[in-house]
């Protein structure tokens, strides 16, 4: 029966080509706009550490002191608190991060130094965040001391400096220090760069910079402090709550600049860690080092949520495209209705010859579905075009805009669902055509 309905639907499409083309096009444009924006929103709101993001937590304290006391736990901590918590080893894994600009070059290459970002971190960073390695691996925990000179570099930088060859064991010049490469990462593009996002909640949707590429150089915190001679240029002035910070080493400066991340694999461990954190804050308050004993322990996804990472423009475009799809749908309802009702005579004959209402209804829906399928193909092509256009935009997340498999199937599912939904009302109407009246007018 289905084959027969499909045949009827094809015949009917062929009969009125213009109207059919218009409907398919309208549906395709709606689906294309909707899927383009949804794909971008989907990619930007995705899980940056698929698999075990649920075990990653971001502990926060409020280390700020008068005169710049803030009333929220800060994104980062001062050096001493961060080190206390990190070296307590109360979690399965723990790492510290702080990002800073640095000049890098290969000794003796004669090339001018390249401005790049360096991430001051610890060896747990790599296994915690599932960082893939091309050559070598993370530095040993024994290299966290102050005089180690080790770095891990990104595949991009390896490509630029060494043409993609195995550069483990080679040395780089960071600022005025020579460092040895111990590992080269495989391409890694967490979106967003969740581990160093700041105050997204207060950015009014201007969060595009959260989707920048990750840093190119990774070095132990102590090594980084050595290289920068105690100063970390990437720390903005407003992260320091006392202006006396100038010239002081970041180890003692009144600045919140190191973020702590921990891995906790069970709810019990999360509970214990939260208690530990509270205890630490209260102890520091008793010691007079803190004025506030606020703490917060958020999971990675909660942290992204709290920072409202998806840029405002992306969310707005997604809403706009859904509204647009709604217009296209109403349009399809109207056009399908005219299409079916124009054939009232034909339907009358079929009904008179014994077709049930249900059969007429199904036949109309098959036709709507066929239009939906064609619209889906058009929508898929337009989505590809739309994503290509997004990739041409001057935005940080441009390179991420690709259609993945779920979104590919989503396009067709959405198109089919939309056209069937739009077809229900016209099909119902068509199946209720009064037989006698139609036969009389033939």
Partner 1 sequence: MRHIVKPLLRHRMMPLLVVLQVALACAIACNALFLLQQKLVPLLTPDGVGQPQQLVVAWNLAPRGQPWPVSTLRQTAAELRAIPGVTVVSLAGSWPMETMAQMTGTVLADGRDGKADAVIYIGDHLRSTLDLKLVAGRDFSAAEDVVVYKNIGIDDDGPTIITRALANRLFPDGHALGKVIRIGDQADAGRRTVVGVVAHLMRNKFSQDNRDDIDYSMLFPGTPSNWPVPMFGVRVRSAAEVASVLKAVKATVQRELGSNMIQGIDPAYETYGDMRQRMLAQPRAAVWLLSGVSLIVLLVALVGIMGMTSYWVQQRTRQIGIRRALGAKRSDILHHIQWENLMVMSAGILLGMVLAYAVNLWLMRHYELTRLPWQYLPLGAVLMLALGQLAVLSPALRAAKVPPVVATRSV
Contact present, 262 and 91 (Cβ < 8 Å): yes
Contact present, 20 and 13 (Cβ < 8 Å): yes
CB of 22 to partner 1, least distance (A): 5
* Binding region for partner 1 (CB under 8 A) out of 98-106, 130-138, 299-307, 357-365: 98-106
* Short-list 406, 342, 375, 376, CA closest to 38: 406
Residue tagged 């997604």 (tokens): 318
* Binding region for partner 1 (CB under 8 A) out of 177-185, 262-270, 332-340, 369-377: 332-340
Residue 205 touches partner 1, criterion: CB under 8 A: yes
Continuous segment of H or E residues that includes residue 6:
helix 2-15
Q: Which of 17, 204, 238, 358 binds partner 1 (CB under 8 A)?
A: 204
- Contacts with partner 1, 160-189, as mask; x by CB under 8 A: ---------------x--------------
401-440 residues in contact with partner 1 (CB under 8 A) are 429
Contact present, 98 and 235 (Cβ < 8 Å): yes
Integer angstrom CA distances of residue 396 from 140, 198, 258:
33, 16, 24
Residue 30 touches partner 1, criterion: CB under 8 A: yes
Q: Which of 45, 160, 249, 313 binds partner 1 (CB under 8 A)?
A: 313
List all residues 6 or more positions away from 1 whose beta carbon is below 8 Å from its beta carbon. 359, 362
Residue 335 touches partner 1, criterion: CB under 8 A: yes
Residue 219: Cβ-neighbour burial (10 angstroms; 0-12, 13-18, 19+): buried
CB of 116 to partner 1, least distance (A): 9
Extended beta strands in 143-299, E state:
150-153, 171-174, 177-185, 217-220, 259-263, 295-299
Phi (first) and psi of residue 385, to 5 degrees? -65, -45
Extended beta strands in 56-212, E state:
56-61, 93-105, 114-121, 133-136, 150-153, 171-174, 177-185
Taken in order 271, 276, 280, 285, the sign of the CA dihedral is positive
Nearer to partner 1, 42 or 429 (CB): 429
Residue 317 touches partner 1, criterion: CB under 8 A: yes
Whether the upstream peptide bond of residue 249 has omega within 30° of 0, thus cis, is no
Q: Which of 234, 369, 372, 410 binds partner 1 (CB under 8 A)?
A: 234
Side-chain-side CA neighbours of residue 90 (13 Å): 22
Q: Which of 156, 171, 272, 331 binds partner 1 (CB under 8 A)?
A: 331
CB of 65 to partner 1, least distance (A): 23
Residue 363 touches partner 1, criterion: CB under 8 A: no
Could you tell me whether strands 177-185 and 171-174 are parallel, antiparallel, or unpaired per DSSP bridges?
antiparallel
Residue 246 touches partner 1, criterion: CB under 8 A: yes
Q: Which of 69, 165, 243, 341 binds partner 1 (CB under 8 A)?
A: 341
Please state, in angstroms and rounded to a whole number, the distance separating the CA atoms of residues 196 and 203: 15
Residue 105 touches partner 1, criterion: CB under 8 A: no
CB of 418 to partner 1, least distance (A): 14
Residue tagged 């050595």 (tokens): 226
Q: Which of 184, 314, 328, 407 binds partner 1 (CB under 8 A)?
A: 328
Nearer to partner 1, 33 or 300 (CB): 33
Radius of gyration of the chain from its Cα atoms, rounded to whole angstroms: 30
Q: Which residues pair with 180 in a beta bridge?
A: 150, 171
CB of 136 to partner 1, least distance (A): 26
* Binding region for partner 1 (CB under 8 A) out of 85-93, 100-108, 152-160, 361-369: 100-108
Task: Enter the tokens of residue 246.
Answer: 């100038």
Residue 324 touches partner 1, criterion: CB under 8 A: yes
* Short-list 278, 258, 308, 322, CA closest to 95: 258
Nearer to partner 1, 63 or 386 (CB): 386
Residue 279 touches partner 1, criterion: CB under 8 A: no
* Binding region for partner 1 (CB under 8 A) out of 69-77, 181-189, 364-372, 387-395: 387-395
Contact present, 150 and 220 (Cβ < 8 Å): yes
Q: Which of 146, 233, 236, 436 binds partner 1 (CB under 8 A)?
A: 233
Angle between helices 405-431 and 312-342 (to 10 degrees): 30
CB of 329 to partner 1, least distance (A): 9
Q: Which of 19, 83, 106, 435 binds partner 1 (CB under 8 A)?
A: 19
Nearer to partner 1, 58 or 116 (CB): 116
Side-chain-side CA neighbours of residue 61 (13 Å): 35
Residue 323 touches partner 1, criterion: CB under 8 A: yes
How many residues of this chain bind partner 1 (CB under 8 A)? 43
- Contact footprint for partner 1 (CB under 8 A): 19, 22, 26, 29-30, 33, 100-103, 115, 175, 204-205, 233-234, 246-247, 312-313, 315-317, 320, 323-324, 326-328, 330-331, 333-335, 337-338, 341-342, 393-395, 429, 441
């Amino acid at each position: 029966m289905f084959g027969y309905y499909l045949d009827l639907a094809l015949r009917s499409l062929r009969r009125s080509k213009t109207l059919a083309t218009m409907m398919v096009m309208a549906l395709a444009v709606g689906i294309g706009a909707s899927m383009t924006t949804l794909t971008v929103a989907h990619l930007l709101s995705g899980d940056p550490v698929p698999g075990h993001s649920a075990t990653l937590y971001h502990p926060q304290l409020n280390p700020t002191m008068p005169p710049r006391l803030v009333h929220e736990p800060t994104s980062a901590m001062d050096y001493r608190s961060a080190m206390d918590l990190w070296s307590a080893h109360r979690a399965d894994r723990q790492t510290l991060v702080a990002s800073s600009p640095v000049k890098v070059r290969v000794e003796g290459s004669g090339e001018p130094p390249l401005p790049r970002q360096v991430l001051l971190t610890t060896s747990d960073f790599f296994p915690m965040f599932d960082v893939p390695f091309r050559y070598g691996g993370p530095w040993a925990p024994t290299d966290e001391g102050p005089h180690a000179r080790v770095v891990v570099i990104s595949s991009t930088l390896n490509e630029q400096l060494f043409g993609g060859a195995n550069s483990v064991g080679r040395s780089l010049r960071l600022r005025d220090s020579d460092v040895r490469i111990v590992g080269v990462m495989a391409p890694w593009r967490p979106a967003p760069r969740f581990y160093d996002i700041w105050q997204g909640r207060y950015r009014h949707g201007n969060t595009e910079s959260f989707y920048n590429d990750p840093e190119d150089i990774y070095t132990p915190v102590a090594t980084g402090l050595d290289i920068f001679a105690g100063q970390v240029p990437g720390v903005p002035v407003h992260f320091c709550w006392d202006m006396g910070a100038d010239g002081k080493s970041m180890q003692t400066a009144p600045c919140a600049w190191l973020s702590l991340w921990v891995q906790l694999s069970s709810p019990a461990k999360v509970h214990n860690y939260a208690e530990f954190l509270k205890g630490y804050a209260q102890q520091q308050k008793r010691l007079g080092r803190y004025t506030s004993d606020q703490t917060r322990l958020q999971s990675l996804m909660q942290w992204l949520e709290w920072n409202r990472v998806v840029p405002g423009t992306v969310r707005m475009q997604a809403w706009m495209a859904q509204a647009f799809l709604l217009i296209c749908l109403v349009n399809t309802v109207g056009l399908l209705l005219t299409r079916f009702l124009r054939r009232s005579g034909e339907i009358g004959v079929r009904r008179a010859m014994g077709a049930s209402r249900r059969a007429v209804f199904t036949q109309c829906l098959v036709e709507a579905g066929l239009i939906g399928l064609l619209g889906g193909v058009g929508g898929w092509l337009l989505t590809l075009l739309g994503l290509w256009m997004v990739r041409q935009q001057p935005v940080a997340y441009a390179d991420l805009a690709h259609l993945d498999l779920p979104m590919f199937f989503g396009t067709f599912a959405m198109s089919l669902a939309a056209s069937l939904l739009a077809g229900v009302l016209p099909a119902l109407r068509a199946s209720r055509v009064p037989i006698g009246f139609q036969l009389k007018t033939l």
